[in-house]
């Protein structure tokens, strides 16, 4: 077993954008504390997996929607929500030729992790053959948080260790846990602390069972607040997240982050340019995220396909301390669904549509994307107020 290493949580600063402190102005600075990071039996494998996913020009395809949410996607093209239809759609995605050129990891729902193609080949084997790392959604969804301002907390810690061990046996090598923070609802200190603590416990349990944890406190787009307010909340959330990650002895080199981009609220009167989104987002990350973290895999959060790609491209116009890439669901799948329409004869065209979006985001990860030639459908926003997975 490797020897323990140590980290210190120090605040990062940037002079470019001012921000208001959440702390009381008269409060004395907290003492600096060193936390021991336990390097367990899976340490080397965790680091290798995280680096593989955070490889140049590649990102994550998120197809971990619950059966209910997948049903909504299928209903949008007139299909019933049956296991057969869900399997057919996910087979279309996971067997796309050449997908591994642009995709390094795929997040699956539990049902999908255990499914196979119509010919009997396990989806996990399809991914491994394409050099794509299989991942698994492990949280059990959001429920109301008592004592909060109508906010939520994420359940799923009960039994997580045994489930994670089984997922590892099935071939999963990374995990995802999504919790949310709502700016219109505050956010309350209780909700932020609950989100951060839950993510930290999940991350520690995942690493103990060989799974690289994706840490995802999604700051919802809902609201009419300006971008400065989003920055303020994001800094508070990520500060707490890393504090509790360290308290739980999580090895930073063996995690990935899935943050929201720092944007104005979806209902704000002014939209931010990709350059502005990049400036505010990178400022937040540099203030809060240690360079030991190998990869930042952004969620799209209801942005249009083109918008999510343009914003990612803007963030990769100069070198970053981490691999800055994508973990998109709707921003990779929307064109695919519209093309497929549930018709077998449209599978090849649908897979080509997936490759178009995957390649565009691959180029954005390299800072080489151009929106020239994008169709109008790719520019349509996909924000849904109160969206649930």
The answer to whether 313 and 303 have CB atoms below 8 angstroms apart is: no
CA atoms within 13 A on the CB side of 103: 32
Read off φ and ψ for residue 302, nearest 5 degrees: 100, 0
CA atoms within 13 A on the CB side of 336: 26
Tokens of 313: 């491209």
> Cβ contacts of residue 179 below 8 Å, gap of 6+?
139, 142, 152, 153, 154, 195, 198, 199, 216, 217, 218
Active-site positions? 216, 258
- Nearest one of 241, 151, 146, 150 to 203, comparing CA atoms: 241
């Amino acid at each position: 077993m490797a020897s323990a290493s140590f980290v210190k949580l120090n605040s990062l600063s940037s002079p470019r954008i001012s921000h208001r402190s959440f702390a009381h102005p008269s409060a004395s600075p907290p003492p600096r504390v060193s936390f021991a990071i336990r390097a367990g039996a899976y340490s080397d494998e965790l680091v290798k997996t995280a680096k593989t996913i955070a490889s140049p020009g590649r990102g994550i395809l998120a197809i971990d929607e619950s059966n209910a949410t997948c049903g909504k996607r299928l209903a949008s093209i007139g299909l019933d929500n049956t296991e057969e239809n869900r399997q057919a759609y996910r087979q279309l995605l996971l067997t796309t030729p050449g997908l591994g050129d642009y995709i390094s990891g795929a997040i699956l729902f539990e049902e999908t992790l255990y499914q196979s193609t119509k010919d009997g080949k396990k989806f996990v084997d399809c991914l491994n053959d394409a050099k794509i790392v299989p991942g698994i959604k492990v949280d059990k969804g959001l429920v109301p948080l008592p004592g909060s301002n109508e906010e939520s907390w994420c359940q799923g810690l009960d039994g997580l260790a045994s489930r994670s061990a089984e997922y590892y046996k099935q071939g999963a090598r990374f995990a995802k846990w999504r919790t949310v923070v709502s700016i219109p609802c505050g956010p309350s200190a209780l909700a932020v602390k609950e989100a951060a603590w839950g993510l930290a416990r999940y991350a520690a349990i995942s690493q103990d069972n060989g799974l690289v944890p994706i840490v995802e406190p999604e700051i919802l787009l809902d609201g009419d607040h300006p971008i400065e307010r989003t920055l303020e909340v994001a800094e508070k959330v990520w500060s707490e997240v890393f504090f509790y990650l360290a308290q739980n002895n999580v090895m930073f080199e063996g995690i990935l982050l899935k943050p929201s981009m720092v944007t104005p609220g979806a209902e704000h009167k002014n939209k931010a340019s990709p350059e502005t989104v990049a400036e505010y987002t990178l400022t937040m990350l540099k203030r809060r995220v240690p360079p030991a973290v190998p990869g930042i895999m952004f969620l799209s959060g209801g942005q249009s396909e083109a918008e999510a790609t343009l914003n990612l491209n803007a963030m990769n116009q100069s070198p970053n301390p981490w691999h800055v890439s994508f973990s998109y669901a709707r921003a990779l799948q929307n064109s695919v669904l519209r093309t497929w329409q549930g018709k077998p004869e449209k599978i090849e065209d649908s897979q080509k549509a997936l490759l178009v979006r995957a390649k565009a985001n691959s180029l954005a990860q390299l800072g080489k994307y151009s929106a020239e030639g994008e169709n109008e459908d790719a520019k349509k926003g996909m924000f849904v107020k109160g969206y649930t997975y």
